[in-house]
Amino acid sequence: MIIRKRSLARRLLTVDLPVVAILLFALGPYAWMFLTSVTEKGRLFTQGPSLSGATMENYVRLFKTVGFWNNLVDSFIIAGGTVVIGLTLSVTAAYAFSRFNFPAKRGLLLQFLVINMFPVVLLILPLFIFMRQLGLIDTHLALIIANSTVAIPFSVWMMVSYMNGIPRSLDDAAMTDGCTRLGALWRVVMPLCLPGIIATGIYIFITSWNEYLYALTLGGRNVRPITVAIQTLIGEYEVEWGLLTAGGIVGAMPATILFLIVQKRLISGLTQGAVKG
């Protein structure tokens, strides 16, 4: 099927058309949401969403009257904080896992793997009680800590595989040249696995940005990240689909853009491998 060169018409029918169909399925709902968000309120229920006469009215209202800006800031603080904690703890831990041998290594590594499996419901109740005792309910810190339950195990796992890909001989060379262990980590290993660190960081950012249950349970009044804010729009404004979908588009934007950036790196790595293979 590779050797034979197919005719253009056949390719269009067997490849391009099905790909278009799948992309329509994948992007259709998103496009529909966007269309709804730019449709005028009166028009929406009479003629349905349409591009003609597109208006930014819903977006303006979102920021002017609903105070969406504060929610965006909350989300940025929480997701950014989780990235910082997740990366600092996991990069050092991953270096220890990847470069040293010690008795409990397998068990500890397994521990980080298994944590990925725990349901959120198992952790959400005690975390709520814990935060209440510490007086942390409705603070950014509470949500950063809660999101770390997901972020740390995941990023340890990712970073170990990235660091294992960097030859040990490079550390040794750096240390013969007078670097300490930590110097070798800082000057040689870190720069080399920077793409991995960035990808992991972005992934943590996206998952924390998109997180909803912790945000609902541990935040809510003062600290209200975007996901909770979007949801509360339903109750406050009698199913105003224009406003809601505008909120959805804005809330999904940062994560989507970041994801497309990482995706590019992922694809280029994959295609390079395919060409070489």
Interface of this chain with other proteins, residues 16 to 75, rule: CB under 8 A: 16, 18-19, 22-23, 25-27, 29-30, 32-33, 36, 44-45, 48
Residues 6+ apart with CB under 8 A from 142: 131, 136, 218, 219, 223
Nearer to other proteins, 44 or 83 (CB): 44
How far apart (Å, rounded) are the C-alpha atoms in residues 219 and 138?
4
Among 72, 156, 193, 197, binds other proteins (CB under 8 A): 156
Tell me how far, at minimum, the Cβ of 42 lies from other proteins, in Å: 13
Tell me how far, at minimum, the Cβ of 127 lies from other proteins, in Å: 6
Other Cβ atoms less than 10 A from the Cβ of 147: the count is 25
Nearer to other proteins, 169 or 276 (CB): 276
Burial-class residue 1 by CB neighbours within 10 Å (0-12, 13-18, 19+).
Answer: exposed
Nearer to other proteins, 65 or 116 (CB): 116
Among 78, 218, 223, 252, binds other proteins (CB under 8 A): 252
Token pair, residue 83, equals: 């990235």
Token pair, residue 120, equals: 């959120």
Nearer to other proteins, 65 or 111 (CB): 111
Among 79, 83, 199, 255, binds other proteins (CB under 8 A): 255
119 binds other proteins (CB under 8 A): yes
Which is nearest to 254 in space by CA: 202, 214, 211? 202
112 binds other proteins (CB under 8 A): yes
Question: What values do phi and psi take at 176, rounded to 5?
Answer: -65, -30
Tell me how far, at minimum, the Cβ of 233 lies from other proteins, in Å: 9
Tell me how far, at minimum, the Cβ of 71 lies from other proteins, in Å: 12
- Under rule CB under 8 A, which residues in 168-197 are in contact with other proteins? 175, 178-181, 183
Are the C-beta atoms of 188 and 171 separated by less than 8 Å? Answer: yes
Count of residues interacting with other proteins (CB under 8 A): 95
The one-letter amino acid code at 164 reads: N
9 binds other proteins (CB under 8 A): no
Three-state DSSP class for residue 274: helix
The one-letter amino acid code at 187 reads: R
